[in-house]
Structure 1
């Protein structure tokens, strides 16, 4: 480095807002040592403008810098990345490295995975791989980084076709790439990693799956091995218990047991079929939102499933979303299944003239949309090709932004609180791929931030996570076992009104452009339904339950009375178990079917013209007046209580 270079200084911004001046070629680790020698020696990685990077990464002027140590939340991710390398090293020790080809091995929120080509393993092989990983950890290899030229990397990777394909993406501005070596094994990788394999805590391999290279079904199918790593055995055990609980609640298994939905090969992937029980739950969810919409002054509209792509060019979806759309030709015209409902709603608004007195205009639609996810990413109801959004689009004057956004937020919180869901909010800002000027985006983001600040809501900033047409407020909520889910959203849009030439006549008799708001109270019915199945483990609240009450006659002699009792609950979803079976088996069946309440009737109940009531908690009360129980059910349903509580008072 020349004397002039050494004198060049840049400034990075630390988490407390202060600036640290360093030399222009400084790394994350150099900055840590500038702050203090203890922090420098403890540095495992860094975050530059929110992105996790290796401690050897160069900083730049104005970067927001955070040092990652073993006390940081991100440290676990660094350690898991190193664990994925140990997995790949173990595979190449136990299997023919001439045959097996390495793909990628990133950390994830819950662990890590590594993809391999030409690897023939099954679940029985995981224990042996785990033992080999334990050996690698115990050997405490130093994990060393080396930066090399593209040419040198090509030489090292001449037998690794997938790594060669990644080379250009790993290159820095000097056309160099990094390798990480541990013992006899090395891998092309940007990092970050811990200093040695001995710093990796406990590793557990979880499952084997298939995955297309780069998620493209036109590419080869590879073997993906999932694993996780924690600093302690107790943390791992806690994770495995949570995982076991999540598997018990898997909506695909419960959906099959309760006959809620199916996804069949004959109908196509990612295209769910809702059975009567599942549609019952969905209809209740729809009715709930439709009542909220009516109370808030929304008008329902309907748009077709397919439009000419002229519409998608105009809206901007074609240039930003075409890869995720189903597009086909009809004669000389090109059409596309709609991935979103908003352009259709904009077209409806455009079809007539409006005055400032008419606004706000609020449209709602339970609109089916289609998005071409990769087949390997499809999973139950969580990721599908066809799904329904409880969509709402508002066309408003700029002076109505705050009141309308606040009302939408009130509707969203009412939905989430109805299901007793804890939630957090985030402001998602302009993504890299977007439409509209910086000025428009800054205006939209500041409006949403003003609403959040005015209501004193705590919220996070999610840089670059906005929709391509505008920023948004996202709600995330936790389910019964602490998992976080993305849910409702409210999005401000200054771009689509401009693209569709939407206008209204203002008080000054001039043409003005309205602001468009996109909002959904659930997000999508499919994903929200999936979450509810797992959140309640299929034990839905009374108002949602496909079957709300089951009447159990003790013997065939009581069958007539059982049907008369069932008729007293007209308006509820009531079934009579008239099978030739013992009462104990009927009770067990109703419990397994997750019915909120059971009514038991025998000779004593028939003689006294009353009932016995049993709930899903296996509590039971005798000599219950029919009218009293019906009154309770009506109140429990109307108030949308989350648990059956007739016997819990």
Structure 2
């Protein structure tokens, strides 16, 4: 007999070999019906997985992230089976679950067009209605060669997996079999609502020298109402998409001859980023940071010391031949840490000098894959509120807490705090080639971070194999309007690089010691933050960030002189104001200002000019009535000073 500890802490006894789905059935028919996958000791497993020893077990339903992925992975197989029925010549590549739905790469066919989606969806619904059992089997490579004869992409994967010594598993539903690690649902009937969303082209395995395939995307849910809600949410996402809003409101543009992932920030976007940068630099100064300015590039020798040359070379832009050691070779910096360490190394340091908090508005360059580019959220050149804290071991928790408090303050101020989640990113001990340091060093660093996070009472998820190559990190995660998750802010503990750079301090004992280092950002990447703010507020940014905070609307040319005087007063008070001098009707000009999301519209006519007043309309409240020019200026300044949202 074995003992299984459930999520609620209760312990159940079962015979060894009981499957995850059988445990779910013992807990209730409703849970078994809703089950999509399991987690044994925090590892995601298939429902068919036998349990042979004492463990912790969670049953994952569609409400759970891992449950959703198993659900969508099965739906991807249903789509592939439907395509196999309709297009027998199709050859199947890979079909992973995504954060929202799935895609499947399909060769041997022309890219599908939306007018073909309905037939594929109809065939999928037939497969779902049949409620076909999904069966798992472990095979040998010889069996796989027979099963996947003619499926070239599957045969390639089969041979690769066999060479790596991986377990070879297949999942079969009716007449469709796929080489797959799972997990999967028990049958196709659980999938109730299906929608194919788009078809694009993709290179096999991301290699432009390989076959071009059709990449089909879809989404599915256990209930039709959930699909309906999702589609409505997608409509709203399209309305809020920063790629759309940012271009319409002239915050940024992209130009083919400049390159993908290299946006041109237009005056409106540049003004917002400028305001954010000034605020962050001033805030960090108040929190005890010292501003630095370091080069955008360095010789390869610097990156060899830091380890980036060995672990990050593919993500760097290289100037010169990286393999010719006889000639100088430079690289644009992908991060600032090895540069800021030189500030610390500029002279000898004592324990009294620590902590040293260094910050920089850093322009960085990363050679992201073309498929990862997305507006301002993922780009190849970006600017970040980067910083490094060099400190004694006894200062680690206090300084880490300070970094987290600063990040939370920044998020709350701009209005993103309620949208983030936290991930404790750890190394993968099975991929030691990817990381610097020993298992003991990683255990020490991760235990130190866990103790700090738990002591702070932070609600976080664990992300294995998400750490930096030199240490664990706390990633503050956020999703864009389409549900794609990215890291906005990161705080990392580093116990390795100080030794590599020879960074020491003289302790109270008169001996040299290696400091700890915290790598951190306070608001993250400014371009990404701008994109997320545009989406959050649908372009109507808080007044303190808006490129134009007030628009003066004279009723006719007769009142231009008064409008000009008012404009001068607003600008003298530090308000970013403009006047609409066009010979258009007042209603049209107000509508234009509203479309530009301008917070304050100040209408002036005969009465206002005579009385020294303005008729105020606000973006939020509409008509605010007539007030003196000074009252109006005070109102706007209060909005800006308090960073109201």
> Using the alignment, how far apart are the partners of 1:617 and 1:33 within structure 2?
53
Deviation per CA, 1:305-348: give whole Å up to 9, x if none.
22112111211112221222222426712322211111111233
Match for 1:107 among 80, 97, 111? 97
Given that 1:549 and 1:599 are in contact with CA atoms closer than 8 Å, whether structure 2 keeps it comes out as: yes
Secondary structure of the 2:340 match is helix
Mean alpha-carbon deviation: is it higher for 112-121 or for 267-276? 112-121
Partner residue in 2 for 1:123: 114
Match for 1:334 among 301, 308, 329? 329
Secondary structure of the 2:523 match is coil
Secondary structure of the 2:181 match is coil
Within a 5 Å distance, the mapping from 1:582-593 to structure 2 comes to 582-593=585-596
> Using the alignment, how far apart are the partners of 2:476 and 2:223 within structure 1?
32
Partner residue in 2 for 1:386: 381
Partner residue in 2 for 1:4: none
1:469 Cα shift?
1.1
Match for 1:428 among 419, 425, 429? 425
> Using the alignment, how far apart are the partners of 2:31 and 2:585 within structure 1?
70
1:614 aligns with 2:620: no
> Using the alignment, how far apart are the partners of 1:323 and 1:11 within structure 2?
47
Within a 5 Å distance, the mapping from 1:237-636 to structure 2 comes to 237-329=228-320, 332-420=327-415, 421-422=417-418, 423-431=420-428, 432=431, 433-477=434-478, 486-570=487-571, 571-617=574-620, 619-636=622-639
Mean alpha-carbon deviation: is it higher for 503-512 or for 10-19? 10-19
1:168 Cα shift?
4.4
Secondary structure of the 1:544 match is coil
1:612 Cα shift?
0.4
Secondary structure of the 1:487 match is strand
1:59 Cα shift?
5.2
> Using the alignment, how far apart are the partners of 2:188 and 2:615 within structure 1?
63
1:619 Cα shift?
1.2
> Using the alignment, how far apart are the partners of 2:17 and 2:161 within structure 1?
19
Secondary structure of the 2:351 match is coil
> Using the alignment, how far apart are the partners of 1:555 and 1:185 within structure 2?
73
Mean alpha-carbon deviation: is it higher for 494-503 or for 131-140? 131-140
Mean alpha-carbon deviation: is it higher for 550-559 or for 208-217? 208-217
> Using the alignment, how far apart are the partners of 1:357 and 1:303 within structure 2?
25
> Using the alignment, how far apart are the partners of 1:476 and 1:136 within structure 2?
37
Match for 1:201 among 192, 203, 228? 192
Given that 2:99 and 2:484 are in contact with CA atoms closer than 8 Å, whether structure 1 keeps it comes out as: no
> Using the alignment, how far apart are the partners of 1:221 and 1:598 within structure 2?
53
Secondary structure of the 1:523 match is strand
Given that 1:170 and 1:190 are in contact with CA atoms closer than 8 Å, whether structure 2 keeps it comes out as: no
Given that 2:47 and 2:186 are in contact with CA atoms closer than 8 Å, whether structure 1 keeps it comes out as: no
Match for 1:177 among 164, 168, 181? 168
Secondary structure of the 1:521 match is strand
> Using the alignment, how far apart are the partners of 1:323 and 1:18 within structure 2?
48
1:450 Cα shift?
3.3
1:82 Cα shift?
1.6
Within a 5 Å distance, the mapping from 1:140-151 to structure 2 comes to 140-151=131-142
Given that 2:96 and 2:102 are in contact with CA atoms closer than 8 Å, whether structure 1 keeps it comes out as: yes
How many residue pairs were aligned? 632
Deviation per CA, 1:587-616: give whole Å up to 9, x if none.
111011111111001111111111001111
1:457 Cα shift?
3.4
Match for 1:91 among 67, 83, 86? 83
TM-aligned CA distance change 1:44 to 1:579, over 3 Å: closer
TM-aligned CA distance change 1:277 to 1:138, over 3 Å: same
TM-aligned CA distance change 1:374 to 1:517, over 3 Å: same
Mean alpha-carbon deviation: is it higher for 435-444 or for 168-177? 168-177
TM-aligned CA distance change 1:480 to 1:380, over 3 Å: closer
> Using the alignment, how far apart are the partners of 1:23 and 1:170 within structure 2?
33
> Using the alignment, how far apart are the partners of 1:198 and 1:40 within structure 2?
14
1:398 Cα shift?
1.3
1:249 Cα shift?
0.6
TM-aligned CA distance change 1:38 to 1:291, over 3 Å: closer
Mean alpha-carbon deviation: is it higher for 41-50 or for 464-473? 41-50
TM-aligned CA distance change 1:518 to 1:226, over 3 Å: same
TM-aligned CA distance change 1:139 to 1:349, over 3 Å: same
Deviation per CA, 1:76-106: give whole Å up to 9, x if none.
33222221112112222222x23x3211112
Within a 5 Å distance, the mapping from 1:9-48 to structure 2 comes to 15=7, 28-29=20-21, 44-48=36-40
Mean alpha-carbon deviation: is it higher for 44-53 or for 380-389? 44-53
Partner residue in 2 for 1:5: none
> Using the alignment, how far apart are the partners of 2:163 and 2:223 within structure 1?
36
> Using the alignment, how far apart are the partners of 2:483 and 2:10 within structure 1?
35
> Using the alignment, how far apart are the partners of 2:612 and 2:170 within structure 1?
80
CA RMSD of aligned residues (A): 2.8
Mean alpha-carbon deviation: is it higher for 69-78 or for 570-579? 69-78
TM-aligned CA distance change 1:383 to 1:414, over 3 Å: same
Deviation per CA, 1:115-159: give whole Å up to 9, x if none.
112432212221222122112222332222233211111122231
Give ranges in structure 1 of 5+ residues lacking alignment.
Answer: 1-8, 643-649
1:494 Cα shift?
0.5
Given that 1:32 and 1:67 are in contact with CA atoms closer than 8 Å, whether structure 2 keeps it comes out as: yes
Deviation per CA, 1:408-462: give whole Å up to 9, x if none.
1221111111123314434322344321223322332333333333333333333
1:187 Cα shift?
1.9
Deviation per CA, 1:486-511: give whole Å up to 9, x if none.
32221111111011110011122211
Mean alpha-carbon deviation: is it higher for 236-245 or for 609-618? 609-618
Give ranges in structure 2 of 5+ residues lacking alignment.
Answer: none
Please give the TM-score of this superposition, normalised by the length of structure 2.
0.91
> Using the alignment, how far apart are the partners of 2:210 and 2:528 within structure 1?
28
> Using the alignment, how far apart are the partners of 2:193 and 2:288 within structure 1?
56
1:385 Cα shift?
1.2
1:170 Cα shift?
4.9
Mean alpha-carbon deviation: is it higher for 67-76 or for 528-537? 67-76
Secondary structure of the 1:367 match is strand
1:67 Cα shift?
3.5
